[in-house]
Amino acid sequence: GENVEQHPSTLSVQEGDSAVIKCTYSDSASNYFPWYKQELGKRPQLIIDIRSNVGEKKDQRIAVTLNKTAKHFSLHITETQPEDSAVYFCAANLQGGSEKLVFGKGTKLTVNP
Amino acid sequence: NAGVTQTPKFQVLKTGQSMTLQCAQDMNHNSMYWYRQDPGMGLRLIYYSASEGTTDKGEVPNGYNVSRLNKREFSLRLESAAPSQTSVYFCASRHTSGTGLGNTIYFGEGSWLTVV
């Protein structure tokens, strides 16, 4: 069925290391892929997004890459800091790039000082 | 400019009771969404509305109804609440452009619902 798979479900890194979270999607017509960060008890907040017409996007320590052929996209966080600890969600719009925006199950990232 | 506002923030219901979660956005967005969030399950789409007057089912629509009252408001109704509907509910909205390429989705602060 239509879905977004996200891995790993938990990730623990040392401060200063890099973290990578991967997502795959099922609909080849999907054209929008955002990443959200959610701190405990708060709403999800957009950290970066990528559209199907580009392969990579960077914003300071975070970057997202998209492989349309393989139908997967990844979040890369470099030089991790304790404040990066949170749950991260990927998402994709399904059904031919419609407004149906579906999320992965999330990755709990812990950055150890 | 309040963004996405949803009420109530907390609610306890008894099994079988009904209630409506209200959501309003002041960003003139076309699309609005209702998600539920459960531990280990991420954010699951209940219903969405791509424009005023239209609604569509998401991943988990059973037990819910929605109304897109106007461009600003999108409500979620539980007709007969069940313990399985205990969850955190998020309303969200985003602007859609003619290019067909997506735009940022903005979330409300969430509504914590407990059904006993």
Structure letter (DSSP) for residue B73: B
Count CB pairs under 8 A between chains A and B. 66
State residue B102's pLDDT score: 60
Low-confidence stretches of chain B (pLDDT beneath 50) = none
CA distance B21 to B99: 32
Residue B114, classed as helix, strand or coil, is: strand
Q: Is the pLDDT of residue A51 over 90?
A: no
B41 touches chain A (CB under 8 A): yes
Residue B90 and residue A99: Cβ atoms within 8 Å? no
Q: Is the pLDDT of residue A26 over 60?
A: yes
For the residues A1-18, what does the mean pLDDT come to? 92
Q: Count Cα neighbours of A18 within 13 Å in the Cβ-side half-sphere.
A: 9
A86 touches chain B (CB under 8 A): no
Q: Count Cα neighbours of B12 within 13 Å in the Cβ-side half-sphere.
A: 1
Residue from B38, B20, B47 nearest B84 by CA? B38
A48 band by pLDDT with thresholds 50, 70 and 90: very high
State residue B101's pLDDT score: 57
A84 band by pLDDT with thresholds 50, 70 and 90: very high
State residue A101's pLDDT score: 85
CA distance A19 to B31: 32
User: What Å distances lie between residue A11 and A17, A112, B73, CA to CA?
Assistant: 12, 11, 38
